[in-house]
């Protein structure tokens, strides 16, 4: 089975993703929007994309609503990254991917917070879906627990 990935169409990339990336790079954080920076798995160069970090039950998470995207593949390889707001790094973190069995609660919280924006990528699953429905969709949506590194004083 090939990994699930929903590539944005040309118009969506131009009308949605570019403006969101532009806002994130300038430190304008709509609804918690941040810019994820992670080293490319082949080039080693920093790659960035806008993301919606989720705080839930005392932990922080990154959820990939579009599936197994390039940022997901890079984060799996690197194991760490940065969240940025404008030109400043807000958090340097280590990422741990959750197994599918641990995802339903996080996916529910994510969909409750951002379902209006990303719900179309979840094939009818939403924040009110049963644990079984969320578990059935979990393999399509990677989830990473992020552990923020404390910066030295």
Domains in the chain with CATH codes = 10-148 (2.30.110.10)
Above 80 in pLDDT, residue 23? no
Q: d(Cα 34, Cα 24) in Å, to the nearest integer?
A: 6
The DSSP secondary structure of 113-153, one letter per residue, reads HHHHHHGGGGTT--TTS-HHHHHHHHTTS-EEEEEEPPPP-
Looking at the predicted structure, is the pLDDT value of residue 35 above 50?
Answer: yes
Q: What percentage of residues in the chain have a pLDDT greater than 90?
A: 61
The whole-angstrom distance between residue 73's C-alpha and the CA centroid of its chain comes to: 12
| Rounded average pLDDT over 26-44 | 79
Average pLDDT over the chain, rounded to an integer: 85
pLDDT number for residue 31: 57
Q: Say if residue 45's pLDDT is above 70.
A: yes
Taking residues 118-137, what's their average pLDDT?
94
- pLDDT > 60? residue 135: yes
In the beta sheet, which residues pair with residue 108? none
Q: How far apart are CA 50 and CA 24, in angstroms?
A: 6
Contact by Cβ (8 Å): 89, 24: no
Q: What is the mean pLDDT of residues 57-74?
A: 96
Residue 113: count of CB within 10 angstroms of its CB: 18
Q: For residue 2, give Cα distances in angstroms to 33, 48, 51, 101.
A: 29, 24, 24, 20
Rounded distance between C-alpha atoms, residue 102 and residue 68, angstroms: 17
């Amino acid at each position: 089975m090939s990994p699930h990935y929903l590539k944005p169409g040309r118009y969506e990339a131009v009308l949605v993703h570019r403006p969101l990336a532009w806002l994130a790079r300038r430190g304008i954080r709509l609804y918690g929007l941040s810019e994820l920076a992670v080293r490319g798995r082949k080039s080693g160069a920093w790659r960035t994309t806008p993301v919606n970090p989720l705080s839930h039950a005392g932990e922080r998470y990154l959820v990939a609503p579009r599936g197994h995207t390039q940022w997901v593949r890079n984060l799996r390889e690197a194991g760490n990254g940065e969240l940025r707001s404008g030109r400043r790094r807000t958090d340097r973190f280590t990422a741990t991917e959750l197994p599918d069995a641990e995802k339903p609660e996080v996916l529910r919280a994510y969909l409750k917070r951002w379902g209006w924006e990303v719900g179309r990528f979840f094939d009818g699953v939403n924040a009110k879906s049963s644990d079984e429905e969320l578990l059935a969709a979990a393999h399509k949506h990677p989830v990473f627990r992020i552990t923020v590194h404390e910066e030295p004083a």
